Amino acid sequence: MKAVILAAGYGTRLQRDVVADSSGRFAHLVGTAKPLLPVGSSVLISHWVHALSRSDCADCIYVVTNAVYLAAFEQWASHFTNVKIVSDQTRSNDDRLGAVACLQLAVKHFDIEDHVLVIGGDTLFKEDFSLSEVKGRFSDLQAKSENSCLVLSYQCKEEETHKYGILEVGSDLRVLCMKEKPLPSETKSRSACPCFYMFSKKSLPLLDTFLEEKKEAPIDEKDAPGNFVSWLILREPVYTHQVSGRFDVGNLPSYIECDLYFREKRDVGSYMV
């Protein structure tokens, strides 16, 4: 399995918060890509590299960034032997390719023909999460059908459904559909779907199909990776694995919460393994 970490975003909300913060405590974060933010004892994305390596979940880790942050990511990656970087060549949020196109870029640039684990570069999970456990579940699904894919879910609050993609799931844990940011009245489900997906190698050609269909669509319809997942659910068997929660570093308060959690955490060595 190969891992692709999506890190081509510009973190506009977080940067706006950092600049506006009058305390000065976070001035050192100005101009820092979200995956390279210090979280506990290391930068955010390094937690993933350590966990992926220790769990033998992926034999190579590919990171998609943009032209603005390319040099910073290349410097960070020089400390690892199993990490490779590719830039989407964009220089502003207005010109972004979108997460699905970035995933397609990684698949083509690195000639990936294996199963792919896709991870949002601004996401971490709580300590009950286990890569080995999730990989085992994916292997079991693959033994039944080589087309099977796996996503995660966690229970969000009723008033939060409008922030996330919400999964509606059958009794066999197969995903029936994903509703994008619905009102609580529009779905009975409270199963939020974070950016962590295990795509079978047989599903990878569908990236081209999806992007061809969306060629003339506005960026909002092909930016969030959940748009592809929603589309894929109607074509391939996609199952869910439940976790207790996640950290989604989108603004300054969410960054502070995530950093504090990892500063207080002692056993970082086994985290997410």
Predicted local distance difference test score (pLDDT) of residue 268: 67
Helices (H) and strands (E) in the chain, counts: 8, 14
Three-class SS of residue 179? strand
Confidence of residue 271 (pLDDT cuts 50, 70, 90): confident
Predicted local distance difference test score (pLDDT) of residue 77: 98
Name the token pair of 79. 């400390």
Determine the distance from the C-alpha atom of residue 245 to the mean position of all C-alpha atoms in its chain, rounded to a whole number.
Answer: 14
> Beta-carbon neighbour count of residue 31 at 10 Å?
12
Q: Identify the residue whose tokens are 């910073």.
A: 72
* Max intra-chain CA distance, the chain: 56
Predicted local distance difference test score (pLDDT) of residue 267: 65
- 91-100 mean pLDDT: 95
Predicted local distance difference test score (pLDDT) of residue 270: 80
- 27-49 mean pLDDT: 96
Give me the chain's average pLDDT, please: 95
Confidence of residue 179 (pLDDT cuts 50, 70, 90): very high
Closest by CA position to 152, among listed 172, 171, 131, 170: 131
Predicted local distance difference test score (pLDDT) of residue 117: 98
Confidence of residue 128 (pLDDT cuts 50, 70, 90): confident
Lowest-pLDDT range of 67-71, 80-84, 229-233, 269-273: 269-273
Confidence of residue 223 (pLDDT cuts 50, 70, 90): confident
- Asked whether 192 and 155 are in contact (CB, 8 A), the reply is yes
Predicted local distance difference test score (pLDDT) of residue 222: 83
Element (H, E) at 194: none
